[in-house]
A and B are shown apart, each in its own frame.
Chain A
Amino acid sequence: AQSVTQPDIHITVSEGASLELRCNYSYGATPYLFWYVQSPGQGLQLLLKYFSGDTLVQGIKGFEAEFKRSQSSFNLRKPSVHWSDAAEYFCAVGAAGSSNTGKLIFGQGTTLQVKP
């Protein structure tokens, strides 16, 4: 069965410091991978996605993520965090090849707190 694990429930970083949020997935074939961000009381905003090709993908707001098949990981990174990045971050996997079913499986989320 497909699953997504985000090992860190809560992370605190100082403003201007670098950030890495971890995501591990379980899926037999090549997955579609996503990172979403959710501000309090809001819906989900897509940060970036990986479907195929270059394993380092760039997203919005200065975020990037790297797909590592050997480690079943898709970690999210940002070189310098801003106070406005404080939010909940979700990693998700979609089943590539399943005919037209857009089911996404989400991890439990990582709450990012940014210290001034």
Chain B
Amino acid sequence: DAGVTQSPTHLIKTRGQQVTLRCSPISGHKSVSWYQQVLGQGPQFIFQYYEKEERGRGNFPDRFSARQFPNYSSELNVNALLLGDSALYLCASSFTGARAHEQFFGPGTRLTVL
């Protein structure tokens, strides 16, 4: 079975621009979570979505938004990019309910903001 897929693999943007990252979950998984991993640190939770609704949000500004589609894929949008947004953005998928914490991660999208 295919794992979690993310696109693009790498992205370079300039300050003030907007970016959209995409994620397709493992087949059968209905929940998608997004994490930001700054170099040298552990991943930080940004959002969780299932049934197309936001179910959890981390301590990130409103410049960060996401949505989930009927096929359970998801997009993460970041507006007005700052240098500090440079990071590896990880998508994870899982079942819902009691197994929501057992998350499987994609390879990530490396975002560089210049």
Contact = CB atoms under 8 A, between A and B. Distances in A.
Contact of B56 (A44, A46, A101): A101
Given A43-B90, A90-B43, A107-B42, A102 B105 contact: no
Nearest to B106: A43
A46 B102 contact: yes
A36 B31 CA distance: 19
A91 to B, nearest CB: 9
Nearest to A96: B101
B102 A49 contact: yes
Interface stretch (B14-22, B65-73, B79-87, B92-100): B92-100
Interface in A29-51: 32, 34, 36, 41-46, 49
Interface residues on A, range: 20 to 34
A36 B35 CA distance: 14
Contacts, number: 75
Interface residues of B, number: 30
Nearest to B107: A43
Given A43-B105, A43-B107, A106 B50 contact: no
Contacts of B90: 43-44
Nearest to B96: A100
Nearest to A95: B101
Contact of B31 (A41, A44, A94, A102): A102
A32 B102 CA distance: 9
Interface in B1-49: 4, 31, 33, 35, 40-45, 48
Contact of A100 (B50, B58, B102): B50
B103 interface: yes
Given A100-B100, A103-B58, A36 B105 contact: yes
B45 A100 contact: no
A72 interface: no
A101 B102 contact: no
A104 interface: yes
6 contacts: A34-B102, A36-B105, A42-B108, A101-B56, A106-B42, A106-B43
